[in-house]
Amino acid sequence: MEREVSRIKEEFVVKLSMINNREDIEKLKIEYLGRKGKITLLLRKLGTLSLEERPKIGQLLNQTKREIEERLESRIEEIEKTERDKRLKEEGIDITLPGKRLDRGDLHPLSLVLRQVEEIFFSLGFKLEEGPEVELDYYNFEALNIPKDHPARDDQDSFYINKEILLRTHTSPVEIRVMEKQQPPIRMIALGKCYRRDATDSTHSPMFHQIEGLAVDENITFGDLKGVLTFFVQRMFGEERKVRFRPGYFPFTEPSAEVDVSCLLCQGKGCKACGYSGWLEIMGAGMTDPAVFKMVGYDAEKYTGFAFGMGAERIAMLRYGIDDIRLFFENDLRFLKQF
């Protein structure tokens, strides 16, 4: 009996080694371990053995059965692995190819410019302030010395929500909101979206970003305004840039100035971009009108201040040589990836 068991086992090992698919493994399993399998039949014969032989042969048979089961299992695993490898090869997956690269986000050119503006003014002790984009007519116009029938309102064709509420046309209302809450000294900037009913073209967009600044204290002069803005321009566009202040008009500053920078393309010699003047206009500025101080309850005899405002898109266009404002909002990755 012992010899028969070992013969069956050897025979099984040989047969197993010749099999390379799962169906044949199943057949082999039935041949040895099935209801009428070779090992099963021997186990049934145990009862015919003598009492001395029975435990020994029983143990041998059980051990052989377990061994056959294990070998069958591991052979199935081998076959599955071979099939998997074969399938991978046929499907042509080359695992040495580099993986798909995930697109990483970049900062929008406007965000880059706004961050740079923040850094420059933070270095001068200015603080960032915020205000709502949906604004009251009072803050957007009235408190900035632009009453209801003022012609300056025509320059800023507005999106009104109702008679008293509109989308802010500039960031200047943030100045009023800050001054209402705080006493001087004040050094603040405000950055954000503004809205005007402008037809879209290469230099106009109904939504744009403005950069606003305000300083209020005792003894602030036009010299301080010139110093701060010259520092800003040279940090933003290069130390070699010249700055020019021309008389201008804004309802909320007196005196007011238009600020020009020497042309970045022709270095001031005159070219098409600067209209052969050698200068590019970049912002408006001026000394805060005492009428505005009265609106917020500041003592206009004691305090003076200056304010400035510029378009972030204009600054970014000059900084990066972009010639169409629409590029900022089309979200074409080929454009946005260049910065």
Reading the block at residue 24, the tokens are 């044949």
Question: For the stretch 237-276, what's the b/e string if a residue is b when 16 or more beta carbons lie within 10 angstroms of its beta carbon?
Answer: beeebebebeebebbbbeebbbbbbbbbeeebeeeeebee
The position carrying tokens 């040279």 is 234
- Using CB positions, name the residue nearest to Zn ion: 263
Q: Work out how close the CB of 266 gets to Zn ion at its nearest, in angstroms, rounded to a whole number.
A: 3
Beta strand ranges found along 7-64 (DSSP E): none
Residue among 76 and 273 whose Cβ is closer to Zn ion: 273
SS (H, E, C) 100-124: CCCCCCCCCHHHHHHHHHHHHHHCC
The DSSP secondary-structure symbol of 160 reads B
Residue among 55 and 275 whose Cβ is closer to Zn ion: 275
Reading the block at residue 230, the tokens are 């010259």
Q: Work out how close the CB of 260 gets to Zn ion at its nearest, in angstroms, rounded to a whole number.
A: 11
Residue among 65 and 319 whose Cβ is closer to Zn ion: 319
Q: Work out how close the CB of 278 gets to Zn ion at its nearest, in angstroms, rounded to a whole number.
A: 6
How many angstroms from the chain centroid is the CA of residue 316? 18
CB 243 within 8 A of CB 260: yes
Half-sphere exposure at residue 24, Cβ-oriented, CA atoms within 13 angstroms: 10
x/- binding map, residues 120-139, to Zn ion, per CB under 5 A?
--------------------
Residue among 122 and 276 whose Cβ is closer to Zn ion: 276
Q: Which residues contact 70 (CB under 8 A, 6 or more apart)?
A: none
Q: Work out how close the CB of 132 gets to Zn ion at its nearest, in angstroms, rounded to a whole number.
A: 38
The answer to whether residue 317 forms part of the interface with Zn ion (CB under 5 A) is no
Residue among 19 and 271 whose Cβ is closer to Zn ion: 271
| Size of interface with Zn ion, in residues (CB under 5 A) | 6
Q: Work out how close the CB of 237 gets to Zn ion at its nearest, in angstroms, rounded to a whole number.
A: 13
- Residue 216, classed as helix, strand or coil, is strand
Residue among 170 and 241 whose Cβ is closer to Zn ion: 241
Residues 254 to 283 in contact with Zn ion, rule: CB under 5 A: 263, 265-266, 271, 273-274
Q: Work out how close the CB of 137 gets to Zn ion at its nearest, in angstroms, rounded to a whole number.
A: 40
Enumerate binding residues for Zn ion (CB under 5 A).
263, 265-266, 271, 273-274
